[in-house]
């Protein structure tokens, strides 16, 4: 699954405007069907779009919902989606180039928190991404802003809003845990502080336990096949960071909105 690409993406110049054209590959829907079977058996909580028109409609809807000020996403001709250029470099590329720019992770956190507050008609609750890995977050250093891309996958509707949001954070953070030595700590801490929603972070902490059975196979794909022992140790450290950030967040909220003193009834 990690190697199969059901959609092909091409960069094109149309009348001096750079756009990206995503096309469903021949046989892509068959690959999606088998992929969804795997995702279901592993209780992943996400699914892909087997029908091209459903995927295209979701790409168009999410593009307008999250970034209404940008040129609209256009569907067609055929099984293609044309998207405007989004300035920035993926977080994965930044890390691969050895750039541990904490501003990028702070900006990513602010953007993820922002989109997690947008109401989605399909969920009848707040929106979530479903596959928020490091390639799907772009950072523009000139504006110090982050953007989300690629809406090929979505959470299943039965999941709660809190669970979906925590899962989005988990996908990105599990990939950070695969960085060598302790290079993951500061980017993760910076991201968690920037996101700063105590309820979601507590749910994230509960989701960090390595599952058993087939679900463990999916966990391996999320952690890029790192050893279980190493990921377990780093997950514990991440859990400690989460609790620290939650305590900081609640302390800050208490300072801003202190509880009123109790009236003396005597």
User: 140 — phi, psi (to 5°)?
Assistant: -105, 105
Whether 190 shows a pLDDT value over 50: the answer reads yes
Share of the chain above pLDDT 90, in %: 71
Q: Give the Cα-Cα-Cα angle 195, 59, 148 (nearest 5 degrees).
A: 25
Mean pLDDT on 148-157? 95
Q: What is the pLDDT of residues 64-121, one digit of tens each?
A: 999 999 999 999 899 999 999 999 999 999 998 888 789 999 999 999 999 999 999 9
Q: What is the pLDDT of residues 161-183, one digit of tens each?
A: 999 999 999 999 999 999 888 88
Whether 252 shows a pLDDT value over 80: the answer reads no
Q: What is the pLDDT of residue 263?
A: 57
* 2-6, 14-18, 134-138: which is most confident: 134-138
Q: What is the pLDDT of residue 256?
A: 72
Q: What is the pLDDT of residue 11?
A: 92
Q: What is the pLDDT of residue 182?
A: 83
Whether 265 shows a pLDDT value over 50: the answer reads no
Q: What is the pLDDT of residue 192?
A: 96
Q: What is the pLDDT of residue 180?
A: 85
Q: What is the pLDDT of residues 206-238, one digit of tens each?
A: 999 888 888 888 888 888 778 878 888 999 999
Q: What is the pLDDT of residue 210?
A: 86
Whether 266 shows a pLDDT value over 50: the answer reads no
Whether 254 shows a pLDDT value over 80: the answer reads no
Whether 260 shows a pLDDT value over 90: the answer reads no
Across the chain, mean pLDDT equals: 90
């Amino acid at each position: 699954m990690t190697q199969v690409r059901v959609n092909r993406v091409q960069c094109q110049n149309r009348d001096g405007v750079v756009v990206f054209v995503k096309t469903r590959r021949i046989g892509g829907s068959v690959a999606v069907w088998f992929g969804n079977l795997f995702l279901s058996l592993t209780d992943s909580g996400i699914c892909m779009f087997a029908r091209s028109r459903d995927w295209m409609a979701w790409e168009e809807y999410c593009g307008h919902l999250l970034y209404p000020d940008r040129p609209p996403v256009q569907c067609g001709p055929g099984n293609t989606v044309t998207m405007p250029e989004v300035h920035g470099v993926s977080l994965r590329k930044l890390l691969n180039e050895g750039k541990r720019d904490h501003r990028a992770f702070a900006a990513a956190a602010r953007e993820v928190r922002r989109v997690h507050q947008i109401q989605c008609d399909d969920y009848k609750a707040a929106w979530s991404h479903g596959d928020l890995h490091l390639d799907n977050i772009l950072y523009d250093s000139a504006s110090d802003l982050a953007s989300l891309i690629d809406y090929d996958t979505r959470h299943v509707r039965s999941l709660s809003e809190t669970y979906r949001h925590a899962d989005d954070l988990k996908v990105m953070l599990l990939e950070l845990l695969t960085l060598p030595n302790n290079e993951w700590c500061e980017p993760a801490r910076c991201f968690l502080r920037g996101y700063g929603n105590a309820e979601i972070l507590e749910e994230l902490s509960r989701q960090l336990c390595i599952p058993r059975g087939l679900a463990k196979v999916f966990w391996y794909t999320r952690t890029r096949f790192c050893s279980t022992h190493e990921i377990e140790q780093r997950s514990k450290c991440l859990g400690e960071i989460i609790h620290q950030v939650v305590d900081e967040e609640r302390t800050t909220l208490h300072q801003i909105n202190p509880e009123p003193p109790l009236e003396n009834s005597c």
